[in-house]
Amino acid sequence: MEWTPGGESQDIEDRRGDSGGGGGGGFSPMGFGGIHLGLGGTILLIVLSLIFKTNFLGMFAGGGGAPMSSPMSRSAPPVSSAGEQREVQFVSFVLDDVQKTWETLLPQQSNARYRHAKLVLFRDSYPSACGAASEATGPFYCPGDEKVYLDLGFFNELSQKFGAPGEFARAYVIAHELGHHVQKILGIEEQVRQAQERNRSQVNPLSVRLELQADCFAGIWAKTGEQRKMIDTSDIRAGLQAAAAVGDDRLQRMAGRQVSPESFTHGSSAQRTHWFQTGMQEGTISACDTFRSNQ
């Protein structure tokens, strides 16, 4: 992936020097009124399950709340290694590029104007409007404060534990979470939340459709990157590999569980790669209508 190391994005809030979790109340695995378990949330629950021989994924799937940690306390400014500082620059580059892309595409393809999201970098845990962000939740988008939360340690898990190495796999994660921000701007997130509240039997199926659409939106950004010769075929393969790595069916198998489609919240590996490819091929929001598709 071609990118230019530089400074830190104005849309990044670097909280790596802070410590502790925040505020009271539990969180929802679906992410409406609580933490949205993004690409990393399910992955890291699988890792914990494998390490501690306990089905943490099943506990979260049951919908039970979890207590928050003690209020946040301020610590020293973050100390970064050269490698970590390069990761911050990479995240900054991708964040700015994805948002600049949507600034252009969203008014062209809809009646909406794009407004920037913030990306919060943290270590271990940090409070959000959706509950506490932590290593266990992985990267996620919070519609309550319109911020993406990311612990850089997740990138190591993505590469080492789940076989999705490379910079573009990491870029895909960021683009996916910003896809949820586009859904918030377009009113899709609110419509889905209301539909889930009206019909609880549709909570998981609608969550899957929301996640697959975010994958498709990530593909739209990837298409623009290909057109600008920022990414090549090897990057595209890395993106597809990352999408497949976090399919619900693959994660359930890794946890030693029987594949249970009715418990899916993000979609199968095949579905996720399909919709990422759809976004890349078509490049339009209208092509990403996962809610009207059987795929």
Distances 288 to 111, 158, 219, 275, 282 between C-alpha atoms, Å: 16, 25, 10, 7, 9
- Residue type at 284 in one-letter notation: T
Low-confidence ranges of the chain (pLDDT < 70): 19-80
What is the reported pLDDT for 44? 53
Model pLDDT, residue 162:
72
Tokens representing residue 42 in the block: 């399910």
What per-residue confidence (pLDDT) applies to 46? 52
Q: What is the pLDDT of residue 154?
A: 87
The identity of residue 183, as a single letter, is Q
Report the pLDDT value the prediction gives residue 116, as an integer from 0 to 100.
98
pLDDT of residue 92: 97
From CA 126, how far away is CA 28, in angstroms rounded?
A: 16
d(CA 150, CA 87): 12
Question: What is the gyration radius of the CA atoms in the chain, in angstroms?
Answer: 18
Question: Under a CB-based contact definition with an 8 Å cutoff, are residues 162 and 238 in contact?
Answer: no
Q: How far apart are CA 13 and CA 33, in angstroms?
A: 22
Q: Read off the DSSP letter of residue 262.
A: G
pLDDT given for residue 78 in this prediction: 62
Cβ contact 35:67 at 8 Å = no
The Cα-based distances of 12 to 23, 86, 88, 147, 192 in angstroms read 22, 14, 9, 10, 28
Contact of 43 with 251, CB cutoff 8 Å: yes
CA–CA distance, 176 with 98 (Å, rounded to integer): 10
**Contact status, residue 290 vs residue 213, Cβ threshold 8 Å:** yes
Q: What is the pLDDT of residues 207-241, one digit of tens each?
A: 999 999 999 999 999 999 999 999 988 888 888 88
Nearest of 143, 136, 152 to residue 178 by alpha carbon: 143
